[in-house]
Every structure is written in structure tokens, then in C-alpha cells.
Structure 1
């Protein structure tokens, strides 16, 4: 076992140790101290989980590995969000927080994660260009991505029922979970068996002999899962208590601090792919994570609420309806941008800018105006990309194939990081920069 691997895991164990001690001893500490200890444990365990999930691709190849990697990477977030939903079944005080973490995670993933990896990938591609050559302006995605885009589009339309009805009924939760299972099954139908490169700690795990690698991955999975399960409740409770004691809106901490803790490893892994020139892989992983959150996570909330003693639907207050509306409109814009299988630099900047605006526009009226702006821009981009809508929708039942990828510089798509063909309509190209 490499010294680098031992040091990396050792650092995570050291960071998580204070939380383990607090949990076992039951010692009472101030809420901010508890927040730091258990928050750090969640971050450390999330890194270990992400490394193990990435290394597991060695034994589970193909698109299914990407879907499973994305699923495992968001498990820490599930633990926190489902705790709030479960407690809301017996304590109405937790109802405002039941979907706060989910909305924050979704918008953080699309508004910060997607632009981050695109801009990094384009920066790397520009640095690899010969002097004097024009830098790339878009990241090209493989045709197999159409299936994920189509799934995300269908989920977005389905999720619009939530703000319209003001609740997440159990039947809708079961539909969303079923949709996720169908999506996971569909990944096994792809004939793309290419093995993507391993980065960071995962590369050192993969270098181990097969038995040692599998035992290491299993131990990392079990250890990380145990730390996350032990830390989820005190971390979630300390978020609310710390907000109250420090004079900070607890909803704000639940919505943004918890997702930052649980998703930081996923962002870092995706950023490493982008820095190694594998921007399409990075985006594919983050899109799969978005699908997981938009289906399995939302679908699990009413089930957890019911198991906690609640009703057959998870009722949302006016603030959560507003948050769901904003999240759905942002997702609609993300789908519109991806339709052409080209992620332009300007699109990434626009998504990040709109994401940042929500921290300035905090009122209910302003949030609905921002959601309307998302929707209007999305509709405009849908019109520009209208010729891509049918091929994307048919990808729902047509198994994607690696032979379908368009990687020809004469094609309108061009190669990854290449500008479009000069014969392409200039108006269309300008519009696609949104």
C-alpha cells in the first residue's frame, strides 16, 4: 500500500476522530463546536467515500459505474436531508428544513459545479494549444450524454408538480424513485465499456493487487458510511442550534453549509478530471449526481416523513415552494444549455452569475422574478436548440452507443474544445453562447 494512500486516509481519520469521540462519550459542547466537529467528520468521510467509489469503477466498468459513483458521492447529503424529513414527521418545527438542503445542493451543483468544471476544462485546453492558436470556447460532450439530458428534462417537468401543489405526495415520491431505478437500469444497456482514467487517491487504490484493492474499497465504504451515519444527526441538529445561537438564519445554514460539506469531495474529484483534460467525464459525473438528487433524493423525502410519523405527503411552506420554483427553473435552463452537447464558456459564466444573484435577491418577489428570468432564457435557448430536442428525447428508449459520438472537426459540434465549423450559422453560434 502506497505511503500517499496511507497518509490521505490517515488525515481523514484524524479529522473525523473528534466527532467520533464526542459521539461515543456523549459529551455536551457548545453548538458551534459540535457543528465544526461533526461537519469536519462529514467532509472527511465524504472524501473517503468519493475515493472508494471512484476506485470501484475498476471492477464496475461503463456508464453504470458513473451513475453509481454519482449516487455514492451524494450519500452524505441524503443522510442529512432524510434526517430532517424523518424528524418533521413527529416535530413540525423541522418541516421548513426538510427540503432546504436538497434545494441548496441542487442549485449549488448546477450553478457552481457545472460552471467550475467547464471553465477549468477550457482553461486546460487553452494552455495545451500551440502559441498563436485561438483558445477553445466550448466543451463538447459525447452523444451518449443525450440520455442523461433527456432523463433530467423529464424529471424537471415532473418536479414542477411540487411547487404547483405545494407538497411532495408519497405517490410522486414513488414515481421519482422508480424513474431513478429505470435510469440506473438503462445505464447497463450502453455498449460504451471504455475505462476512464483514475485520479488522486483512487489511482493509488487501483494500483493495488485485486484482492487488496477490493478489501480496501470495502473497508473505506464501511468506515465512511459508519462515520456519516453517526455524524448526520448531531451535524443536522447543530446546524439549527448554531444558527440560533449565532444570530444566523438556520435555514440559510441548512441550505448552504450542509451541501458545501457533503459535496466538496465530489466537486474536487470533478475538478481533477477537468484539470487533466477530461472535462466531459467531469460534467457527466455531475449530471448524474443532479439526476440522483432530482429523483431519488426528492422521492425519498415523503417516505422518510411518513416513517417519522407524518402524513402521506410532505407539506411545503411558502418559502419552500419558492425555493422549489427557483430550483426547477434553474434546472430547466441547464437542460436547455446541454441540448446541443456543447457547453460554452459564456453559458458557464451565465449560470454562475444567475446562481450568485440569489444571494443578493433574497425576497420572495425577487426570487420569483429570478425564476421567471431563468425560464425566459431557457425558453429562448430551447428555441435556438430546437433541432436537438427530438434526438434527445428519443435517447430515452434508444440505447446510447459510443459509435454515435460525433468527433469530427467538420461537424457542427467539432472536437472537444474546438470552435464550431465556419459554415455553421453565426446567429446560432452566438445564441448558443447562452
Structure 2
């Protein structure tokens, strides 16, 4: 029997609150689909209502997935948590992709709609923005929060952590699996900027990588989950009750997302039109903040409790998920909605966006091959991301492309230098990621934890 640390038997307020905030968006969106009377909201207010519902659904998914770790393999549960936490992002991306496919089928190419939005651009905007936010903001945030947690623990005379340290986070060797498959997907993605479409061949490669990643994780032994708060309350229920609870939460969250995702996407674009904001930028930065926020909050909670490896590991798993399964399924959705085998068109602007996203991912992997994220490299990730974020908003598109090209070059050069000096780490991560038995990795992690505790 797996032990859950938190033995609270009282339902915590966040779960009812999360359910409550989904109800307005669920009721309005569901009524619209069913043809029932419902209030007609202005686009900004509607986007807010639907966005809040999606965030609430994402929290519900996160708690359910965490509680499910009591019953399923720990490593696989982490991947499941990462997948479910970004399910709203899948929904929004698929809405834009299906719209792009329908327009492509009707006109033979991806053309701008009446409101000026290009659906093919929007289909990739949310994905590239979410990936860069996850790495450029999420990973540095984990280092910051874990460092603050270490300072707090030292002041209180607490015991040291195997993963959270002052100014750096250490990943266990068993997380070489995530680093390896992220690296494999990143290497494949480096040629995307040279392409004019994402095809079903890309889908086959990337989805296969995700399947191999999940298969490798499935071999990991069950580990004791670190549950707190709402997820601990669910995890502490009797077996039948627990499974019914998180099953019902999965179902509710899925219904909320299905009822609100398309409305959220459409009203987001309409809001941009009213405010004079570029549609691509709006979908690239605003929508991912809604879909990524629950996962970032969960990671920060892990880091604050000195479970820094779980915090960073969750975000790395999410990055693997998005860079393989999400990117891989976009061409499939486009092909189905267009009724053809055509690939999703990639225009010049999208090529630049894919270039800097792939380059940032390459840099992130080159950092993680040492299984350590230091404050120095976290600052580098945040700084480079912030530069491009600001220029994408303030500068004309032509100048922003120059900035993207320069920053992409910086990412790649730094990556190559790091990989050159860390070649031994690259070989170890590749070996551990695909071949080393998990029991060997666990023993190595236990020995490393003992060594670090004596420092």
C-alpha cells in the first residue's frame, strides 16, 4: 500500500472553488452548443469567463492526476499529469487547426478571415508561445522558488533536500528519460524553420517519440507520491471512492474544456480585433498563460515544499509532451478537418517563431544534460525569453524577425559550447534515458542524496 504523507480527512476549499469558477463558462458554452437561451457577452468578457473556466478545469485535472499516482506508476503518472495539465492548450490549438483545415479545404490555401486573422498562423501561435513561456519563465521560476524555500528551511533549522539547493536544482538520474526524449524531439524540430508545412510524416515521428517516452516510463517502479492539500484529500479516500472521485474530476474537466475551448479561442481573437492587438501575439502569449498557469502553480508548490526535482520534472514532462504529442497531432487534426493529406502550411512568420522555439529548446536541453539547473542558467533562459517577448510586442514585425534570428543564433552557439564541454554528460543521459534499468538509477539517486545531505 502506498503511503500518502498528508492524512487530512477534511475537504479543502480549492476543489469546490475550482468547480464553482467553471460553472459560468460551462453553462454559457454548453447552452450555445445545445441551442438554448444564454446571455450574449461582449468578446472581452466572454473570453474572460471562458478562460477562467478553462483554468478551473486545469486545476481539477491537476489534482485528479496527482491523486491517481496512488494507483498507477509514478513516472507514468507524472507524464499523465503533464498531459492533462496542458489539455486546455490542446483544445485551443485544435480549434484553430480545425478552422484552418476547413478554410484550406474551401479555398485551397490558408487565407485570412474577415477579421484579419490567419487561422494557420493561430494554429501554431499558441503552441510556440506556450513552449517558450514554459521554458523561459517556468523553469527559472522553479529555481527561484526552491531557493527561497531553502533559505526559509535553513532559518528554521530544517533538514536538507536532495534536489533543492541555494541557487540550483538537482534532478535525479531517473529523469534522464525526460531529458533524452526532449533532446530527441528538439533535434528533429531544428529543421522546421526550413519547411513550408508540418506533415503527417512529422506527426508519425513525433507521436512515435511520445509513445516510446511513455513506454520507457511505464517500466519505472511505483514510487511513493508526495501529495498535499486537495490531491492528498482525494488520495486518502478508500480505493473505490478515490477512483470514483478522480474519475469524475477527469470527466467534469473534459466536459468543461469541450464546452468552452472553442468559445475562448474565438472571443480571444475578437478581443484582439477590438483592442487593435495583433491576433498572432494575442493567441501566442495570452492563451498560453491561461493554459499553463495551473501547471506553473503546481510546480511552485512542489518547489516551495523542497520537492524541486518534482517541480522541474513536471515542467520538463510537459515540455516533452508539447514538443512531441501536441506538435505531432496538429498535422493530423489539420488533415482530418481539411479532408486531405495536406500538411499545415508554415508561412515566413511562423518559420521564425518555430526557429526561436526550437533554438530555445536546444539550449534548455544542453543545460539539463548535467541534470542541474543553476541560477545562472535560469537567469539566461529568463533574460533571453524576456528580450524576445518585449520586442515581439513593441517592435515592427520586420525588426522583430532580426531579433529572433540573432537570439536563435545566441541560443545555438551557447548550446554547442555547453554540449562540447558536457559530452560525457550527453553520453550518460542517452544511456540512462533508453537503456539503464530503473533500479540501477534509483540506487544511484539514493547514493547521490546521501552524499548531498552530508555537504
Match of 1:303 among 329, 332, 346: 332
**Match of 1:67?**
79
TM-score normalized by the length of structure 2? 0.86
**Cα drift, residue 68 of structure 1:** 1.2
**Match of 1:129?**
154
Match of 1:98 among 119, 123, 126: 123
Structure 1 position 156 matched with structure 2 position 186: yes
**Match of 1:432?**
none
Alpha-carbon distance between aligned partners in 2 of 1:342 and 1:366, rounded to the nearest angstrom: 29
**Cα drift, residue 304 of structure 1:** 0.6
Aligned residues: 413
> After the TM superposition, which of the residue ranges 255-264 and 287-296 deviates more from structure 2?
255-264
**Cα drift, residue 319 of structure 1:** 1.1
Alpha-carbon distance between aligned partners in 1 of 2:355 and 2:146, rounded to the nearest angstrom: 30
Alpha-carbon distance between aligned partners in 2 of 1:379 and 1:397, rounded to the nearest angstrom: 23
3-state SS of 1:415 partner: helix
**Match of 1:200?**
229
**Match of 1:85?**
97
**How do residues 405-416 of structure 1 correspond to structure 2 at under 5 angstroms?**
405=445, 407-408=447-448, 415=452
3-state SS of 2:452 partner: coil
Match of 1:330 among 357, 360, 373: 360
Flag structure 2 segments of 5+ consecutive residues without an equivalent.
Answer: 1-7, 32-36, 104-109, 113-118, 393-399
3-state SS of 1:139 partner: strand
Structure 1 position 252 matched with structure 2 position 281: yes
Structure 1 position 261 matched with structure 2 position 290: yes
3-state SS of 1:60 partner: coil
**Match of 1:341?**
371
- Alignment RMSD: 2.2
Alpha-carbon distance between aligned partners in 2 of 1:199 and 1:319, rounded to the nearest angstrom: 44
**Match of 1:13?**
19
Alpha-carbon distance between aligned partners in 2 of 1:241 and 1:131, rounded to the nearest angstrom: 51
Alpha-carbon distance between aligned partners in 1 of 2:434 and 2:390, rounded to the nearest angstrom: 42
Structure 1 position 316 matched with structure 2 position 346: yes
Alpha-carbon distance between aligned partners in 1 of 2:155 and 2:101, rounded to the nearest angstrom: 60
Return closer, same or farther for 1:182/1:72 CA change in 2, 3 Å cut-off: same
* CA deviation profile, 1:245-267 (whole Å, cap 9, x unmatched): 11111211111111111111111
Alpha-carbon distance between aligned partners in 2 of 1:46 and 1:360, rounded to the nearest angstrom: 28
Match of 2:58 among 8, 29, 46: 46
**Cα drift, residue 3 of structure 1:** 5.1
* CA deviation profile, 1:194-249 (whole Å, cap 9, x unmatched): 21311231111112222211111111110111000110110010111110011111
**Cα drift, residue 409 of structure 1:** 7.9
3-state SS of 2:92 partner: helix
**Match of 1:277?**
306
**Cα drift, residue 131 of structure 1:** 9.2
Structure 1 position 373 matched with structure 2 position 410: yes
Structure 1 position 390 matched with structure 2 position 413: no
> 8 Å contact 1:61–1:195 — kept in the other structure?
no
> 8 Å contact 1:329–1:375 — kept in the other structure?
yes
3-state SS of 1:128 partner: helix
Return closer, same or farther for 1:395/1:369 CA change in 2, 3 Å cut-off: same
Return closer, same or farther for 1:405/1:276 CA change in 2, 3 Å cut-off: same
Return closer, same or farther for 1:146/1:29 CA change in 2, 3 Å cut-off: same
**Match of 2:443?**
403
**Cα drift, residue 21 of structure 1:** 2.9
Alpha-carbon distance between aligned partners in 2 of 1:275 and 1:409, rounded to the nearest angstrom: 19
3-state SS of 1:152 partner: helix
Alpha-carbon distance between aligned partners in 2 of 1:189 and 1:61, rounded to the nearest angstrom: 8
**Match of 2:401?**
364
Match of 2:44 among 20, 27, 32: 32
3-state SS of 2:406 partner: helix
**Cα drift, residue 145 of structure 1:** 1.4
> 8 Å contact 2:125–2:283 — kept in the other structure?
yes
Structure 1 position 185 matched with structure 2 position 197: no
Structure 1 position 114 matched with structure 2 position 139: yes
Alpha-carbon distance between aligned partners in 1 of 2:452 and 2:447, rounded to the nearest angstrom: 5
> 8 Å contact 2:173–2:432 — kept in the other structure?
no
> 8 Å contact 1:140–1:415 — kept in the other structure?
no
